Amino acid sequence: MSTLELPALYVDSVALVVTTPRLVLVNRDPSPGESGVPIDATIALELVDTGPDGVERSTARVWIDGVLAFDGSAVPELAPAFAGPLASVTQTTDTLRVVLHPVAPLASLATVHVRVLAQTVGGAASLDEVYSFVVEDRTAPRVVGAQALAQKTVRLGFDEPVLVPSGRASSSRRRARRPSQSPSPV
pLDDT of residue 32 exceeding 80: yes
Specify the higher pLDDT residue, 13 or 59: 59
What mean pLDDT is predicted for residues 141-155?
91
Rounded mean pLDDT of 160-186?
58
For the segment(s) 23-134, the CATH number from 2.60.40.1220, 3.90.1720.10, 3.40.50.300, 3.30.499.10 is: 2.60.40.1220
Dihedral of CA 123/125/128/134: which sign?
negative
Give the residue, 164 or 70, on which the prediction is more confident: 70
Max avg pLDDT among 3-12, 103-112, 138-147: 103-112
Burial class of residue 36 in the structure, from the number of CB atoms within 10 Å of its CB (0-12 exposed, 13-18 middle, 19+ buried) = exposed
Give me the residue spans of the domains in the chain.
Answer: 23-134, 143-185
pLDDT tens, position by position, 43-75 = 999 999 998 999 999 999 999 999 999 999 999
Measured in whole angstroms, the distance separating CA 45 from the mean position of its chain's CA atoms is 11
pLDDT at residue number 7: 72
Q: Say whether pLDDT at 172 is over 70.
A: no
pTM: 0.72
Query: For residue 171, is pLDDT > 70?
Result: no
